[in-house]
Amino acid sequence: MGGRKAGIRAGAAISCVLLLGGCGGAGNNGSARHEPVTVAKAPAQLPVPRGKGSKSADDFNGDGLRDLVLNDLVKSPDDAHGDDAGIGIVYGTGTGTGAGTTHGLAPGARQLLNPARQAARTKGRSPAVFDAEASCDLDRDGFTDLVVSTDPPYDGQGRPPVPLQILFGSPAGLTGRAVRLVIPAAARAGNDWPDQPVCGDFDGDGAEDLVVHASDGRLSYLRGPFTRKGAPRAAGKPLPSPGSVPTGPALDVNRDGYDDLLVRTAEGPATSALVLGGPAGPTRTGTALPSGIDVAFGPFGRGRALDAAVGSMDGTSLRYDLPTAVRDSISTPGSVLDAGDFDGDGVSELVSSGAELRILRGRTTGLSATGMVTVPPPARGTTRVLTVADFTGDGRADLVVRTYDGETKDTVAVYAGSKEALVTAKPTVTFSTSEFLGMNS
């Protein structure tokens, strides 16, 4: 299977930023260093806060605060080559009372989704693979659901089984056992694995739909809402597509009330094109984008329509004012991109990562490398951006990165958005995914 890991930043992913931006403020100086948190230093496990339902993204317990999904948890040094430990969830919480209440990710409020406990079994056997792929409220109950990828048995003959499962959110978070995603036979094409799910309201009816890879040049379009047994409200014949790799998150590029979809021609460096949503779903091919490793979207200048930035080893190229084909470019190292409104002024910054992690300022005239902020890594190792999102509810995006030091050590760090400096000079939250080792969910 070739499923990408949505919700966790991965190569050839896209970043969606609709009302995000930033400019002004001094850059970060210094080089904060933090050793990875060990299990002994891990905060005591806290109960998952109970919610009543919300419309917030990635809010599995419905308390109005965004939660963080983590794939590829580090392994114990004694079992470095063992099976995948599962999926880690860190919940957002509020601390304090009244005007002194603060919100954000709390490493103590963590949950391990283990395939032995949470995955649907096939022929009495739990899957060995259990990776988060996409998240949205599929059944419209106010709690975000998680689409995961598994490895069901397949003998290589005929059409493979559906590897995708759904974990439904609840007031207590992602509890219970997953159900298999139902893809009607008429909605499939060819004998490819039906994977690479992308959530979005592609037909504008207010319910989240799923788009899934069907075969080269075809997508399975599953209309929501979904039942608790994993079945879509409707699914027609596979839709034609300009590529084979649907890539999330979806976004309404042309502001017509229908989510649109980026589809890449291949994984890794490749061209891509927007597929525009409408009453019949994502059926119209829109703007084509040049070859690159990653794509990020955002309003990178005041008053602009949504813009696209394409990252490659040669730098970053931009196509402004989507869905038209006006071109511009800015030269900056880094091929993996994300975007966010770190200072809350309505204009997006562009995050560019490679050998270093940099933030390009969004200005009224567009992106500028002048005053570019360099973010120090939280620890020694290889640093990658996990996500850019507002975890504190203050209207400013936060930057979440992960530094790897082999398969047994890592550091996840949250740099809070800052009106003055774009992001804080030092992480406001730091923890290791080793804290999930040995947990009982």
What does residue 85 show for φ and ψ, rounded to 5 degrees? -70, -25
CA distance 264 to 266: 5
Asked whether the predicted pLDDT for residue 333 surpasses 70, the reply is no
User: For residue 367, what pLDDT band results from cuts at 50, 70 and 90?
Assistant: confident
Q: What is the mean pLDDT of residues 191-207?
A: 97
Mean pLDDT to the nearest integer, 90-97: 77
Query: Which is higher by pLDDT, 32 or 163?
Result: 163
Average pLDDT over residues 367-395: 90
CB of 293 closer than 8 Å to CB of 317: no
Exposure class string for 227-266: b at 16+ Cβ within 10 A, else e: eeebbbeebeebbebbbbbbbbbbbbbbeeebbbbbbbbe
Q: Does the pLDDT at position 144 exceed 50?
A: yes
Percentage of the chain modeled with pLDDT above 90: 66
The mean pLDDT value for 362-384 works out to: 86
pLDDT band at 124 (very low <50, low <70, confident <90, very high): confident
Region 83-94: what's the mean pLDDT?
Answer: 89
Q: Is the pLDDT of residue 33 over 90?
A: no
The answer to whether residues 392 and 398 touch, using CB atoms and an 8 Å cutoff, is yes
- 441 or 409, higher pLDDT: 409
Q: How confident is the model at residue 220 (pLDDT cuts 50, 70, 90)?
A: very high
pLDDT of 12 higher than 60: no
Bridge-based pairing of strands 131-136 and 218-223 is unpaired
Position 138 scores a pLDDT of: 98
The region of weakest confidence among 35-44, 54-63, 174-183, 333-342 is: 35-44
What per-residue confidence (pLDDT) applies to 25? 32
% of the chain residues with pLDDT over 70: 84
What is the C-alpha separation between 193 and 195, in angstroms, rounded? Answer: 6
- The predicted model gives 20-26 an average pLDDT of 32
**What is d(CA 194, CA 305) in angstroms, rounded to the nearest whole number?**
33
Is the confidence at residue 325, as pLDDT, over 70?
Answer: no
- The single residue listed with the structure tokens 């470019």 is 329
pLDDT reported for residue 28: 36
Q: What is the pTM of this model?
A: 0.90
